[in-house]
Structure 1
Amino acid sequence: MTIAYWIVAGLLASFSLYSGVVKVVRSPDLLRPMMAWVDRVPLPVVRALGTVEVLGAVGLLLPPAAGLAPWLAPAAAVGFVLLQIGAITVHLTGRDRRIGLNVGLLAAAAAALWAAAGWL
């Protein structure tokens, strides 16, 4: 179970870290080609979502690696599940109906949660 967790959590954390940093540092003009929903959401919300993604990536990897606060990894995975449900909702209510990536990330977050819950 440990190997499965590290593979899934590592991939999810890598993607989320990149995505989160992009949302935090790039301007809306640079985000727009990648994220059609940016115009429908205030910029502080986009920045907050990016910060949540970065913190979630750290929460998936650091507690298990350090052996401290083991409840943080499943909590981060739950956060990613909720984040992806929200993302799918935003995509479906707007012009952008491409949710394949979000469904894949939701599945990865659910798998990370399942694997991390075995540690508790």
Structure 2
Amino acid sequence: MTVGRWIAVGLLAALLISSGVLHLVRPEVYLPMMPPYLPAHLPLVYASGVFEILGGVGMLLPWTRRWAGLGVIALLIAIFPANIYIAMNDIPIAGHDVPLWGHLLRLPLQAVMIWMAWWGTRAPSSAEGEE
């Protein structure tokens, strides 16, 4: 694995694991961000935290990296509507008011994270060699 891919995987894994832990120990931070059309907000916050931790750890392990990357991509796509809901309704994040530009910045950042998961965990090209 190239240094660049290791950096992408490491940064994204650290972000996912820390965010996942926060989902479990401080779920009240995430509850206001849950769109009202979703049921069972607290169980969904816990479940997303568990999947973030599993995805982050899985991306760090060579034998689970590719599948974990696909799972992280699916998770990021699944939570994208919540980020739109947060931006459209000016929902505070972690109890703090966020300016509109801050909410809007989260949306393309999600695309960057999806790219990091794809690029960092994809099969190596023939030029890169096997892992």
Q: TM-score range by the shorter chain?
A: 0.7 to 0.9
Q: Which residue of 2 aligns with 1:4?
A: 4
Using the TM superposition, name which of 95-104 and 43-52 deviates more. Answer: 95-104
Unmatched segments (≥5 aa) in structure 1: none
Output the TM-score relative to the length of structure 1: 0.73
Query: Given that residues 80 and 110 in structure 2 are in contact (C-alpha distance below 8 angstroms), is that contact kept between their aligned partners in structure 1?
Result: no
Which aligned pairs between 1:1-120 and structure 2 lie closer than 5 A? 2-28=2-28, 31=29, 36-38=32-34, 40=36, 42-61=41-60, 63-64=61-62, 69=63, 72-93=64-85, 95-96=89-90, 98-119=103-124
* Percent sequence identity over aligned pairs: 29
Q: How far apart, in 2, do the equivalents of 1:99 and 1:76 lie?
A: 27
Report the alpha carbon displacement of residue 24 of structure 1 after superposing the two structures with TM. 0.7
Counting helix residues as a fraction of each chain, which structure ranks higher?
1
Counterpart-to-counterpart distance in 2, 1:99 and 1:23? 22
Name segments (4+ residues, structure 1) moved above 6 Å: none
Q: Rate the CA distance shift 1:27–1:56 in 2: closer, same or farther, 3 A.
A: closer
**How does the TM-score come out when normalised to structure 2?**
0.68
Let me know the Cα RMSD of the aligned residues: 2.5
Q: What is the letter of the counterpart of residue 17 of structure 2?
A: L
